[in-house]
Structure 1
Amino acid sequence: MTEQTARSAHRPDGSDHPDVVVSLGTDHHAFDRLVRWADDYARRRPDLRVLVQHGHSSAPERASGTPFLPGEELSGAMRGATVVVTHGGPGTITQARAAGHLPVVVARDPELEEHVDDHQLLFVRRVEEAGRVHACSTAQQLHAFLDRALASPEDFRVDPGSDDGPDRAALRAGELIDLLTDGGQDGAAPATVAPDPADTWPAVTVVVPTRDRPELLRRTLRAIVEQDYPGRITTIVVFDNDQPDPSLAHAEGDRPVRVVTNTLTPGLAGARNTGVLGADTDLVAFCDDDDTWMPEKLRAQVEVMRAEPGTDMVCCGIQVVYDKVESERVLDRTSVTFGDLLRSRLTELHPSTFLIRRGAMIGGCGTVSEEIPGSYAEDYELLLRLARRGPIRNIPEPGVRVLWHRKSFFSERWQTISTALRWLLERYPEFALVPSGYARVAGQIAFAEAAAGRRGRALGWIGRTLRRRPVEGRAYLALLVVCGFPAGWVLRLLHLRGRGL
């Protein structure tokens, strides 16, 4: 412990709690301005302990500093403090109020490159008008608030259970906007920890739904058995609306295969859930019966899970095969947020790449939705729910060969596609906050309606799409189909380039 930290390690009352907690969250933009203001106050009041959770900003010189704290530790420090100062992150503000504080808040300013946009400025103004925070914008204001709080702490305390009704709705809206722009977890420490020193590899269950594709299924199972993975892999083949093939089952070695029948809602969602509920391992992977894993796919993903116990889901890139043409689809990022997924489906995050902690679904965000009409886009909807819990990790390398072909289950099922996508827009009103994301889904609906021959409905959805995003290409593709261009030709041209609608 340094001399300056030692001087500020104990409060005048003898406790180890800081007098002032300043939390800057985990936003990757530096907020050095607030760190300097806190440092200046610590110099002026050497009798106090000022703790700054500074995230990616510069560490304080006078005050105690730590980049991140586990969520409960940060909440505990807040509960023991006399006053709490936060940046304008809704999650941090909510955490401070839950700890019983009326926080002093300094919003990040995009003109000073402290944030990507001005949503913190707008949000802080809104909650200040509602009396939920004390907002300030200068060092002098901050120091005056701190002096007042230390002299009259009861004026800066709130009932932790008071945030309900319209107040909670405002805070929740702010949290949502924060997710859309950053996906940050505010003051909580990132989940990454050192790998487990024990040279053990967890067992994994692979769920393979199938229907009417025996040759492709055997190829898929062979690729799973041939994985370069040191641990046990149990495959559960779930036959959906099809007679099971018991000859596929075996229990020998560390690559057993079980054969079951879908006992839940008929369709892909029910089949996946039958496998998930039948699994007895912490890690569960999905693989469609017409796709094949590359040999090192599972090992690479489990290595991430072992290193990051707080990560719920890991995906990877794909290699698309269509009519003997191959194309690689790989995301050049290692983390995907809820906001990213609202903006784009990110086709690279294919269900055959999913590796998920079973507990994140069962007892967490829930299993695959069986309410989606026809199970269309069930994988995307599950991604959205898991991303709400925390960022999804991605390995920017191909790990799965994905076969696109005319026998794909949803090929030309236009009415099901349109109905399911409309369900998605209704279930996730957050799309209204992301014009590009709403236009993407609306454009897909327009194309499906046009392909189904419902010209009037197609034109209506084309209009909605273009009002949200005039350059959305799917609207113009739908218009081509309305004018008589065959939908199948459009999809073929897209698929030959490794693209989907």
Structure 2
Amino acid sequence: MTEQTTRPVPESRRSDHPDVVVSIGTDHHAFDRLVRWIDDYARRHRDLHILVQHGHSAAPEVAAGTRFLPGEELGSHMREARVVVTHGGPGTIVQARDAGHLPVVVARDPELDEHVDDHQLLFVRRLEEAGRIRACSSPQQLSALIDKALTSPEDFRVRPSSGDGPERAALRAGQLIDLLTDAPAEPGTTEVVRDPADTWPEVTVVVPTRDRPELLRRTLRAIEEQRYPGRITTIVVFDNNLPDPALARADGERPVRVVTNTLTPGLAGARNTGVLAADTDLVAFCDDDDTWMADKLRAQVEVMRAEPDTEVVCCGIRVVYDRVEAVRSLDRTSVTFGDLLASRLTELHPSTFLIRRRAMIDGCGTVSEEIPGSYGEDYELLLRLAKRTPIRNIPEPGVRVLWHRRSHFSGRWQTISTALRWLLERYPEFRLVPRGYARVAGQIAFAEASAGSRGTALRWIGTTLRHRPSEGRAYLALLVVCGMPPGWITRALHLRGKGV
């Protein structure tokens, strides 16, 4: 295998060996996400010599790049480097550790077409638990780990192994892979680590679904694999289609119930069907196209246990759209009713909600089934809950949210407009917060323009600008009125983890 340099190192940064070595391996799947993260870091650290062995991924624009390197040369660079970053391949991780590094590792994700399956995600998780690597899953975390490795190198060094050669490397890789299978595992079971006091409450997860069987199974698998010591019961609510009884499971710590929406057709009725069927104090929501990260539920329940007066706990999200991922999380731990009037705070996604059931049943009421098309039902529920007590938020991402063309409200512009106008009528408090009123009015203007109602859109554009001349949604709506396809705008926003 010969070196194919795709971007030379600038003379000002040239040295015999780089400060940071990034190895993506030789897998034929592109891992452009990691290249982008490293390039972002390189832009902020022009003084560092960063070398990326990018394989079949796109070449970096800022860092030095080479497609492939002979094994001995890559190993030499790793031994001399200050930091080593790798993908989740066993061979690359072994090589980094043999070079004396505790590597920073980013696993390839099959949902982003970075690998054929999720074995790297599982492998990296187990190695992290065993202390063999430092795993990361966001550009912010990657940047923080590289910074820490540069300032505290002793924390990222290991004793290099003696001996070399492919046979020993293969043996070491096999030993690491054994970490994935060293615990007894029976089909359909999940290991649950019990708290000594066994005081973790049971949680019911309500998963509404419609016509997305493959995504649903992935969602259920993520719930089943939660590292939560207590019992988790999942209620799958089929809305407007026949239920799949094969999903039901009655035994173990992760039972699954399958029911049909018996209330108003739509998302609100489906959520309420599940809430009313639950018999636990804590109820969580998860949409059928989203997945929980392994420690999401435990982190939220810890807040509930420590704060008995807290009624709702949310967390950050990682938005995935067209193989591009963006982290959305609030840097605050408390959200008030006034905060929600001023901003939708889309980071508070329904798939992050953990709610005390009594706060709905005996308090503010269940999810509103009056909202046209159930659009924005999660936001409206948050408004009612926040009137009772502030919403608690965990700043770190806990849910991967998939945005795609099969999303329920994709392109349903008239439904969106009608629901938002209902919201303004139901909550006159928006009039007291010009920024919040302009935001919703701008969304209505964009929806009307996208639906082809030019006159109505122009009226709402005027309303938006009277309340807040700087509201960007008014100008986006005007672009659509002038002929720009709304899909171009929404796609550009989604690629940045944002929406209209």
- TM tier relative to shorter chain: 0.5 to 0.7
Instruction: Give per-residue Cα distances to partners, 1:295-334, cap 9 Å, x unaligned.
Output: 0000000000000000000000000000000000010000
Paired residues in the alignment total 306
Question: What is the CA deviation profile of residues 157-188 of structure 1, one whole-angstrom value per residue up to 9, with x for unaligned ones?
Answer: xxxxxxxxxxxxxxxxxxxxxxxxxxxxxxxx
Q: In structure 2, what is the Cα distance between the partners aligned to 1:232 and 1:241?
A: 29
Counterpart mapping for 1:48-67 below 5 A: none
1:260 to 2:259 alignment: yes
Aligned residue in 2 for 1:427: 426
Name 1:159's counterpart in structure 2.
none
SS at match of 1:456: helix
Match of residue 292 from structure 1: 291
1:305 & 1:357 partners in 2: Cα distance?
A: 9
Larger radius of gyration: 1
Match of 2:72 in 1: none
- Which residue matches 2:445? 446
Encode CA deviations 1:340-392: one digit per residue, 9 max, x unaligned: 00000001000000000000000100000000000000000000000000100
Please tell me the root mean square deviation across aligned C-alpha atoms, in Å: 1.0
Separation (CA, whole Å) in 1 of partners of 2:286 and 2:355: 12
How many angstroms apart in 1 are the aligned matches of 2:305 and 2:237? 28
What code does the residue aligned with 2:458 have?
L
CA deviation map 1:223-266 (0-9, x unaligned): 00000000000000000001100000011101000000000000
CA distance, structure 1, for counterparts of residue 198 and residue 440 of structure 2: 45
User: Is 1:329 matched with 2:325?
Assistant: no
Within 1, Cα distance between the matches of 2:443 and 2:298? 35
Map 1:250-399 to 2 at 5 A.
250-399=249-398
Residue type at the aligned position of 2:488: W
Could you list the per-position Cα deviations for residues 99-145 of structure 1 after superposition, in whole angstroms to 9, with x for gaps in the alignment? xxxxxxxxxxxxxxxxxxxxxxxxxxxxxxxxxxxxxxxxxxxxxxx
Q: How does 1:76-475 map to 2 (within 5 A)?
A: 199-475=198-474
Letter in 1 for 2:321: Y
**Quick one: distance in 2 between partners of 1:471 and 1:233?**
46
Please report how far the alpha carbon of residue 199 of structure 1 lies from its aligned counterpart in structure 2 after TM superposition: 4.4
Secondary structure at 2:228's aligned position in 1?
coil
In structure 2, distance between residues paired with 1:279 and 1:428: 29
2:465 is aligned with what amino acid?
L
Report the Cα distance in structure 2 between the residues aligned to 1:375 and 1:469, rounded to whole angstroms: 27
TM superposition outliers: structure 1 runs of 4+ over 3 Å:
196-199
Partner residue of 1:480?
479
Alpha-carbon separation, structure 2, partners of 1:321 and 1:210: 19
Distance 2:218 2:258 in 1: 16
What is the percentage of aligned positions where both structures have the same residue? 85
Tell me, in whole angstroms, the C-alpha distance in 1 between the residues paired with 2:197 and 2:254: 22
Distance across 2 between alignment mates of 1:489 and 1:259: 39
- Indicate how the Cα distance of structure 1 residues 197 and 247 shifts in structure 2: closer, same or farther if over 3 A, else same: closer
Query: Letter of the aligned partner of 1:224 in structure 2?
Result: I
Q: Does the residue aligned with 1:492 lie in a helix, a strand or coil?
A: helix
1:402 aligned counterpart, secondary structure:
strand
In structure 2, distance between residues paired with 1:303 and 1:261: 32
Partner of 1:339, secondary structure, is helix
The aligned residue for residue 17 of structure 1 is: none
Alignment correspondent of 2:92: none
* Secondary structure at the counterpart of residue 317 of structure 2: strand
Shift of 1:216: 0.1
Q: Is there any run of 5+ residues in structure 2 with no aligned partner, and where? A: 1-194
| TM-score, normalization by structure 1 | 0.61
Question: What are the superposed Cα offsets for residues 386-405 of structure 1, whole Å, 9 maximum, x if unpaired?
Answer: 00001000000000000000
Kindly provide the CA deviation profile for residues 270-308 of structure 1, in whole angstroms up to 9, marking residues without a partner as x.
Answer: 000000000000000000000000000000000000000
| 1:495 matches 2:487 | no
The CA distance in 2 between the partners of 1:261 and 1:299, in whole Å, is 28
3-state secondary structure, aligned to 1:318: strand
Residue 360 of structure 2 aligns to a residue whose secondary structure is helix
Question: How many Å apart are 1:474 and its aligned residue?
Answer: 0.2
Letter in 2 for 1:214: P
For residues 45-75 of structure 1, the C-alpha deviation after alignment (integer angstroms, 9 at most, x for no partner) is xxxxxxxxxxxxxxxxxxxxxxxxxxxxxxx
> Which residue does the alignment assign to 2:19?
none
Q: CA deviation at 1:480?
A: 0.1
Q: Which residue identity is paired with 2:218?
A: R
Amino acid at match of 1:409: H
Q: Once the 2 structures are TM-superposed, how far is the Cα of residue 427 of structure 1 from its aligned partner? A: 0.1
- Quick one: distance in 2 between partners of 1:449 and 1:422? 11
Letter of the structure 2 residue corresponding to residue 472 of structure 1: E
The secondary structure found in structure 2 opposite 1:234 is strand
Unaligned runs of 5+ in 1: 1-195
Deviation at 1:198, TM superposition (A): 5.2
Instruction: Give distance in 2, aligned partners of 1:304 and 1:380.
Output: 22
